[in-house]
Amino acid sequence: MKGNPRTVLIVAILASFVAFLDGSIVNVALPAITRELGGGIETQQWVVDAYLLTLGSLILVAGSISDTFGRVGVLRAGLIIFGAASVACAIAPTSLVLIIARAVQGAGAALLVPSSLAIITATFAGAARAKAIGAWTAWTGLAFVLGPLLGGFFVDTLSWRWVFAVNVLPIAVTLVMLTRIPSSGHVGSGTRIDVTGAVLASLGLAGPVFALIEQGRLGWSSPVVYVPLILGLICFGAFLWWETRVKNPMMPLGLFRVRNFGFGNLATAAIYGALALGQFIITIFLQEVAGFTAFAAGLATIPLAILSISLSTLFGSLAGKYGPRLFMTAGPLIMGAGFLLMLFTTEPVNFWTQLLPGILLFGLGLAVTVAPLTAAILGSISPAQSGIGSAINNAVSRVAGLIAVACAGAIVGAVLDVDAFHRVVLVVALLFIAGGIVSFAGIRNQHVVTPVTPEAAAPSHDRPLSGAPTRPTPTVPGTAPRAEPGPPTGAGS
């Protein structure tokens, strides 16, 4: 790919930054959104889940779309879709319009991360590529620190609508800079997009999520609830059947026969479901029950991001030395212990003594877990399959969060109070503990070490990750590795 390497890197960082910022900025705005638009916790759930639904459904095919239609063109399309949807969110007159716009935003976000990483791997080579991806992960990881603070500032001083409007300026700048990078054209060789699989996956997720959220209002006996649930489960079953028969599946199921990949993704589902539900409830509880301002609630979650960013490389390196099993077991158990501490929360809420100790344990456990988990999963498959392996792991974490947040209303009940908070944090703690048990039972330390490539590890969980060394295994028979973005042409080419 031609173009100034510095320009390419800035474009890639900005494109991903807005998507990652959006993922971390919205939670603090949820109480303000429902105060203006109504709908209570169901609207709050949908604002989060509409985004995760389309993102989780499309992230698996986004790489193939980028390979087929050209990285620059797909990145441009993703930016335009994301930007237009952000404007629609900012001016939404009703909760329904906001939810629909959030779903469109998620579709745009699904195109941004794979394409932004692809233009880096096509422009840089060798040590320059690793350095560029390191810069990408560092800057995009900053979004998790800035997001809650910016969101709280906008909600308290201006309006929750600015949480979405803030995306417009960086997207406009990125689109202008993108004109300096020549289009890469169609780069895929024989790549096929699994459209049927994407549609079945989307419907298979949408039906159960709709049922889980709306059952609190309508009840399980309503056909508006159980019909989408049944149809969604049928579509998801059809998706799994289709993936075993299509030539180029969006999710090669044979990968799950690899022990660390299969058990690692099972642990991912428990851990990242708990992570999404835990962050969702803490931010809302701090505002609606503890009486925090939006900015103060955002500030309260900053230790999570700081601990994760500052310690993930350390624990990734230790996992490379001692194997991932210990860290994938201990990390979730530490996070679970953090949430169990929150069971001692009473009214009036004292953040410093009742919540902060648990949040700090939560952040420490997250740092212990993330890099070893990613390295164990991606290191268990061949380098040729690391792209699709990373996409699957990303999708699993998204879908787990999607379903967990959809269950929030059923756990909370009619009113969010201290008792409801206790029920949610207990569920979160049990999910984390389950993730640790799965890791202990299923993950195996490996003895021959080969580094996981930075481009494979970087997007796995939208936060800086260590490329801890792990062992690859041969390609699983019957699976098709995702088409690689193309050979690097070197920095400055």
* Cα–Cα distance, 283 to 294 (Å, whole number): 8
- DSSP H helices, 158-167, are 162-165
When pLDDT is averaged across residues 72-78 and rounded to a whole number, the result is: 90
Statement to judge: residues 289 and 170 lie in one domain:
no
Residue 229 in domain: yes
Distances (CA, A) of 308 to 296, 405, 483: 20, 22, 31
My answer on whether 119 and 101 are in the same domain is yes
- 491 domain residue, yes or no: no
In a domain, 489, yes or no: no
Determine the average pLDDT of the residues in 444-462: 62
Q: By the 8 A CB rule, do 95 and 38 touch? A: yes
For 248-303, how does the pLDDT look when each residue is reduced to its tens digit (9 = 90+)?
788 888 899 999 999 999 999 999 999 999 999 999 999 999 999 999 999 998 88
pLDDT above 70 coverage of the chain, percent: 88
pLDDT at 462: 54
375 and 258 in a common domain: yes
Long-range CB pairs of 445-450, under 8 A, 24+ apart, other chains included: 445/322, 445/323, 445/324, 445/325, 446/260, 446/323, 446/379, 446/380, 446/470, 446/471, 447/471, 449/320, 450/379, 450/383
Number of folded domains that form the chain: 3
Query: In this structure, are residues 436 and 309 in contact, taking their beta carbons and an 8 Å threshold?
Result: no
Handedness of CA 392, 393, 397, 403 (dihedral sign): positive
The predicted-structure confidence for 340-385, as pLDDT tens digits, reads as follows 999 999 999 999 999 999 999 999 999 999 888 988 888 888 877 7
The pLDDT-based confidence of 419 (bands split at 50, 70, 90) is very high
Statement to judge: residues 320 and 399 lie in one domain: yes
Task: Count other Cβ atoms within 10 Å, centred on residue 38.
Answer: 11
pLDDT value at 447 more than 60: no
Residue 483 lies in a domain: no
Q: What 3-state DSSP class applies to 187?
A: coil
Q: What angle do CA 3, 5, 9 make, to 5 degrees?
A: 115
Task: Decide: helix, strand or coil at residue 28.
Answer: helix
**Mean pLDDT, the chain, integer:** 85
Q: In this structure, is residue 488 part of a structural domain?
A: no
Same-domain status, 172 and 222: no
Check whether residue 223 and residue 315 sit in a common domain: no
In a domain, residue 493? The reply is: no
Cβ–Cβ under 8 Å, residues 461 and 369 = no
77 belongs to a structural domain: yes
Please name the residue ranges forming H helices in 191-301. 195-218, 223-243, 259-288, 294-300
pLDDT of residue 230 exceeding 60: yes
Backbone angles phi, psi at 66, to 5 degrees: -60, -45
Residue 218: which pLDDT band, with cuts at 50, 70 and 90?
A: confident
**417 in the same domain as 331:** yes
**485, part of any domain:** no
Residue 297 shares a structural domain with residue 392: yes
Query: Model's pTM, two decimal places?
Result: 0.86
Domain of residue 449, residue span: 252-475
Residues 226 and 335 in one domain: no
Asked if 429 and 453 touch (Cβ cutoff 8 Å), the reply is no
Same-domain status, 336 and 391: yes
Maximum Cα–Cα distance for the chain, whole Å? 62
pLDDT band of 440, cuts 50, 70, 90 = very high
CB-based burial, 393-430: b 16+ in 10 Å, e otherwise? bbbbbbbbbbbbbbbbbebbeeebeeebbeebbbbbbe
- Same domain? 216 vs 154: no
pLDDT, tens only, 78-104: 999 999 999 999 999 999 999 999 999
Confidence bin at 471 (pLDDT 50/70/90): very low
